[in-house]
A and B are shown apart, each in its own frame.
Chain A
Amino acid sequence: MNLITPEQAAIQQAAKDFTAKHIIPNAAEYDKSGEFHAFLLEEAKASKIFGMAIPKSLGGLEYSPLTQALVLEEWGYGCCGMATTLAANVLSMESVMIAGTDAQKQQFYTPMLNGKIGAFCLTEPTAGSDVGGGRTTAVKTADGYTIHGSKCWITNGGIADVFTVFAKTDPAAGMKGISAFILERGMAGFTVGDEENKLGLRSSNTVFLNLKDVKVPASALLGKEGDGMKIAMQTLDLARPAIAALAVGLAERALALCVAHINERFPAKPFPGQALQFKLADMRIQIDAARQVLHHMMALREAGKPFSQESAMSKTYATDVAMNVAATAMRLMGSAGYVSEVGKLMRDVKVMQIYEGTNQIQRLVVARAVLARPKAPAPAEKAMAK
């Protein structure tokens, strides 16, 4: 049981209803075809859910971090392919929240309150885990910048109206030479390339983007030149728990499907054998633990405390748990699992262990914190040394 307010419970219920009505009945069909689920943007328009992270002063819903997690868990329960569109939209807007001016926020958020979405464009063919390895450049001109290069694995890239794009204003400075820009769909030279045919999250739009001498005004720069890496890292810290939330929802779904199958298969027995009982108990324990790591992280955020390490932990733990729970559900269900939607859950969560920073990169973040040496020896140790 979660300790949430009545208002949060109502929002959670609305998300549950939306998922049951629009997401679950359509998930299999879109997963099969791999077509983008455009209808969802239309259905979600009235609720302004794509603006759930936008401040009320700008017309958004201004949901707290925990409330956002509750919504994303429900969407993840329905279909992580569809939920990824929402999560990636939140991801794209966080950079503007961190570094944007009022005018930039207006520019970026207004479309999101009208059924349009955003995309966060960081990864390049040479820059995956190594964010500093990008080759896209932004050269200063008299009235702005000229951006040249390419971006890959861009979620929402083919359907977004607004984009946060990272490019090097000072290539010689490495990671310190990266800057962040706001781009809009249709700018000359900014075109959508090939769409990826993925194992999972199949109906989520993932594309290659070409930037061929795209001219942007000076007002497109987010923050200052050279702030890009800092903005990107802060954005990912904020956005990773969204993936954790989707994973928690997905794991819940896998357990629910597994339990439904077992109950159907053993209609007369109140409980199956211990081997099954304990596996189901482990699944339950892991899912609840993953949810608590996530909710704790969101509480830290709401309290204004540091949360970078907790963000990395929540994404890693929840996606690893979801993978384990889905794979276990599949195995326990046997051939029935192999022809069921549990297969989709396994395929979806495999992608989630990789995107928004692989779980290996998250472990580097956590290990750095674990191994950090104290700046000065504690008094007791000093005394011992004497």
Chain B
Amino acid sequence: MSTSTETLRRIQASAIAFADEFLEPIAADLDRTGNFPRALVAELARQQLLALPTVKDAGFTAHVETVQTLSKACPAVASILNNHATVAYAVFKWGSDAQKQAHADGLAQGEKLGAIALHEDGPALGHGPDALIGVLAGGKLTLNGKKTFVRNAGVADVYVGFASVGAKGSTSLAGFIAAASTAGISVGPAYMTMGLRGCPVADVIFKDVVLEAGLLGTAAEGADMLEELLSAHALGEAAQTTGIGKAAAIHASAAARTRIQFGHPIADLQAIQQLLAEITTDAHLAWLGVLHAAQLADDGFPFGIEAGMVKSFLGRFGQKLLIDAIQVEGGMGICETAPPHFKGTLPLARMFRDIAGTTLLDAPDDFPEALVAASF
């Protein structure tokens, strides 16, 4: 699957128009209320932006481009989209005919929202006290346990996740797909997150959940599926990081040109120019890394190592984009709401909180560097 320049331009234009019309006006409110913006999901579907990795002549390149564009205006909505698109991709790539029949169209058209449930408490998947354990018997998968920090939890219609199956000592990971309405699935209270508010985060609890035809792919390919989905998801998160960073650099540059100190705009100062140039450089180079990995994915090549490199790079430089952008704006940079005498918007405080949510490790010992190092 790959994107023609023409198609990419068209998708870029839709994403920009969507961000301008629907996201810019609501980003600050969404951050304040945290209310899940269901209507926007429907609108994203109308614009055909919901499941780009599964669309012929679109793919990951178009998806990360869209995620970056949306993140410039409202990273929370980009988070909802990226999570959903990862689920759509999982169904598209590994779903059986019946599973595709049941979910693919709904996911593409926004009738169903997807959530990818990857994390667990404990040192590794399958090892915590509440690990999600699956039992495979006669084509049925029975699930008990908990997935933590699931984005889109509670508002999703479909969950894709992984459970540990098999006897102790020879467990493997099995992918599954489950309708949120399945008996035994419940959602814990929403977590209060630092940023990306509007994209709900909660635990999903599985109690004697029986999936008749819920196994995704085969039990043997679960680990590879997990790695590919984590990589795909990480690429979208990286596009969120670069989008936030680029938007922040533009805002901070404009602020520096109008802020007069010592008789001149502070944009004339080398120290300020250097901060702005570094933000722009780091965001740009990271974005090239995202694009390259997305292109590999679209061309059917493995892209996990390249995605790992991007994640490693942004682990070091991602948060710095906003640490430095706020530094340029000084006191105005830390305003959550613009003071009455100020004309314009002050989004950097929100962006600082949002970007932190896009550069996290999945678990304390999950270093993308390990994946990169193992590639030699």
Cα–Cα, bound, A267→B128 (Å): 10
User: In the assembled complex, how far is the CB of residue B165 from the closest CB belonging to chain A, in whole angstroms?
Assistant: 22
**Most B C-beta atoms less than 10 A away, residue of A125, A331, A343:** A331
Q: Are B364 and A133 in contact (CB under 8 A)?
A: no
Q: Are B367 and A275 in contact (CB under 8 A)?
A: yes
In this assembly, does A145 line the interface, its C-beta being within 8 Å of a C-beta of chain B? no
Contact residue among B123, B148, B337, B353 (Cβ-Cβ distance under 8 Å from A269): B123
Do A327 and B201 form a contact, CB below 8 Å, given A198-B336, A200-B334, A272-B365?
Answer: no
Do A126 and B260 form a contact, CB below 8 Å, given A338-B356, A350-B326, A354-B331?
Answer: yes
Cα–Cα, bound, A29→B203 (Å): 23
- Flag the segment in B36-44, B190-198, B302-310 that touches A: B190-198
In this assembly, does B13 line the interface, its C-beta being within 8 Å of a C-beta of chain A? no
CB-defined contacts of B344 to chain A, threshold 8 Å: none
CB-defined contacts of A269 to chain B, threshold 8 Å: 123
CB-defined contacts of A358 to chain B, threshold 8 Å: 327, 330
User: In the assembled complex, how far is the CB of residue A270 from the closest CB belonging to chain B, in whole angstroms?
Assistant: 13
User: In the assembled complex, how far is the CB of residue B335 from the closest CB belonging to chain A, in whole angstroms?
Assistant: 6
Cα–Cα, bound, A353→B362 (Å): 29
In this assembly, does A39 line the interface, its C-beta being within 8 Å of a C-beta of chain B? no
Cα–Cα, bound, A335→B192 (Å): 11
Q: Are A332 and B335 in contact (CB under 8 A)?
A: no
CB-defined contacts of B192 to chain A, threshold 8 Å: 339
- Flag the segment in A136-144, A249-257, A258-266 that touches B: A258-266
Do A133 and B261 form a contact, CB below 8 Å, given A197-B336, A338-B194?
Answer: yes
CB-defined contacts of A197 to chain B, threshold 8 Å: 335-337
Closest partner residue, chain A, to B275 (CB atom): A360
Q: Are B352 and A196 in contact (CB under 8 A)?
A: no
In this assembly, does A244 line the interface, its C-beta being within 8 Å of a C-beta of chain B? no
Do A198 and B261 form a contact, CB below 8 Å, given A273-B365, A275-B365, A343-B356?
Answer: no
CB-defined contacts of B366 to chain A, threshold 8 Å: 334
In this assembly, does B357 line the interface, its C-beta being within 8 Å of a C-beta of chain A? yes
In this assembly, does B139 line the interface, its C-beta being within 8 Å of a C-beta of chain A? no
Do A338 and B330 form a contact, CB below 8 Å, given A269-B123, A327-B319, A347-B353?
Answer: no
In this assembly, does B360 line the interface, its C-beta being within 8 Å of a C-beta of chain A? yes
Q: Are A199 and B334 in contact (CB under 8 A)?
A: yes
> 0/1 per residue, B356-372, Cβ < 8 Å to A?
11011111111101100
CB-defined contacts of A346 to chain B, threshold 8 Å: 194, 319, 352, 356
Cα–Cα, bound, A351→B271 (Å): 19
In this assembly, does A156 line the interface, its C-beta being within 8 Å of a C-beta of chain B? no
Within 8 A of A (CB), among B234-263: 260-262
Q: Are B119 and A335 in contact (CB under 8 A)?
A: yes
Do A339 and B262 form a contact, CB below 8 Å, given A276-B364, A334-B362, A354-B334?
Answer: no
Closest partner residue, chain A, to B370 (CB atom): A275
Q: Are A337 and B336 in contact (CB under 8 A)?
A: no
Within 8 A of B (CB), among A287-338: 323, 327, 330-338
Contact residue among B201, B271, B330, B364 (Cβ-Cβ distance under 8 Å from A333): B364
* Total number of residue pairs linking A and B with CB closer than 8 Å: 137
Closest partner residue, chain B, to A206 (CB atom): B331
In this assembly, does B333 line the interface, its C-beta being within 8 Å of a C-beta of chain A? yes
In this assembly, does A77 line the interface, its C-beta being within 8 Å of a C-beta of chain B? no
CB-defined contacts of B360 to chain A, threshold 8 Å: 330-331, 333-335, 337-338
In this assembly, does B339 line the interface, its C-beta being within 8 Å of a C-beta of chain A? yes
CB-defined contacts of A198 to chain B, threshold 8 Å: 334-336, 349
Q: Are B363 and A334 in contact (CB under 8 A)?
A: yes
In this assembly, does B323 line the interface, its C-beta being within 8 Å of a C-beta of chain A? yes
Contact residue among A199, A267, A334 (Cβ-Cβ distance under 8 Å from B361): A334
User: In the assembled complex, how far is the CB of residue A188 from the closest CB belonging to chain B, in whole angstroms?
Assistant: 23
User: In the assembled complex, how far is the CB of residue A356 from the closest CB belonging to chain B, in whole angstroms?
Assistant: 12
Q: Are A128 and B339 in contact (CB under 8 A)?
A: no
* Count of A interface residues, CB-CB < 8 Å: 51
Contact residue among A261, A339, A359 (Cβ-Cβ distance under 8 Å from B191): A339
In this assembly, does B149 line the interface, its C-beta being within 8 Å of a C-beta of chain A? yes
CB-defined contacts of B335 to chain A, threshold 8 Å: 196-199
Contact residue among B149, B367, B370 (Cβ-Cβ distance under 8 Å from A335): B149
User: In the assembled complex, how far is the CB of residue B126 from the closest CB belonging to chain A, in whole angstroms?
Assistant: 14
Closest partner residue, chain B, to A152 (CB atom): B331
User: In the assembled complex, how far is the CB of residue B319 from the closest CB belonging to chain A, in whole angstroms?
Assistant: 5
Q: Are B352 and A350 in contact (CB under 8 A)?
A: yes
Closest partner residue, chain B, to A339 (CB atom): B191
Closest partner residue, chain B, to A132 (CB atom): B262
Cα–Cα, bound, A27→B108 (Å): 44
Cα–Cα, bound, A125→B330 (Å): 12
Q: Are A133 and B339 in contact (CB under 8 A)?
A: no
User: In the assembled complex, how far is the CB of residue A279 from the closest CB belonging to chain B, in whole angstroms?
Assistant: 9
In this assembly, does A166 line the interface, its C-beta being within 8 Å of a C-beta of chain B? no
**Most A C-beta atoms less than 10 A away, residue of B191, B315, B323:** B323
User: In the assembled complex, how far is the CB of residue B306 from the closest CB belonging to chain A, in whole angstroms?
Assistant: 20
Q: Are B327 and A359 in contact (CB under 8 A)?
A: yes
In this assembly, does A64 line the interface, its C-beta being within 8 Å of a C-beta of chain B? no
Q: Are A128 and B330 in contact (CB under 8 A)?
A: yes
Within 8 A of B (CB), among A209-229: none
User: In the assembled complex, how far is the CB of residue A256 from the closest CB belonging to chain B, in whole angstroms?
Assistant: 15
Contact residue among A330, A336, A354, A363 (Cβ-Cβ distance under 8 Å from B149): A336
**Most B C-beta atoms less than 10 A away, residue of A153, A194, A266, A334:** A334
In this assembly, does A208 line the interface, its C-beta being within 8 Å of a C-beta of chain B? yes
In this assembly, does B340 line the interface, its C-beta being within 8 Å of a C-beta of chain A? yes
Do A339 and B271 form a contact, CB below 8 Å, given A128-B330, A199-B349, A275-B367?
Answer: no
Taking A129-B266, A194-B340, A334-B360 as given, write out 6 further A-B residue pairs in contact, using a Cβ cutoff of 8 Å, ordered by the A residue number: A194-B339, A327-B323, A330-B360, A334-B149, A339-B191, A353-B327
Residues of B near any A CB (own CB < 8 A) = 119, 121-123, 148-149, 191-194, 201, 260-262, 266, 271-272, 315, 319, 323, 326-327, 330-331, 333-337, 339-341, 349, 352-353, 356-357, 359-367, 369-370
A-B residue pairs, 3 tightest by C-beta: A343-B194, A335-B149, A130-B261
Residues of A near any B CB (own CB < 8 A) = 123, 125-126, 128-130, 133, 152-153, 194, 196-200, 208, 261-262, 265-269, 272-273, 275-276, 323, 327, 330-339, 343, 346-347, 350-351, 353-355, 358-360, 363
What are 30 A-B contacts defined by CB distance under 8 Å? Answer: A125-B341, A128-B331, A194-B340, A196-B335, A197-B335, A198-B335, A199-B334, A199-B335, A265-B121, A265-B363, A273-B365, A327-B319, A327-B323, A330-B319, A330-B356, A331-B359, A332-B361, A332-B364, A333-B364, A334-B119, A335-B149, A335-B201, A339-B191, A343-B194, A353-B323, A354-B326, A354-B330, A358-B327, A358-B330, A359-B327
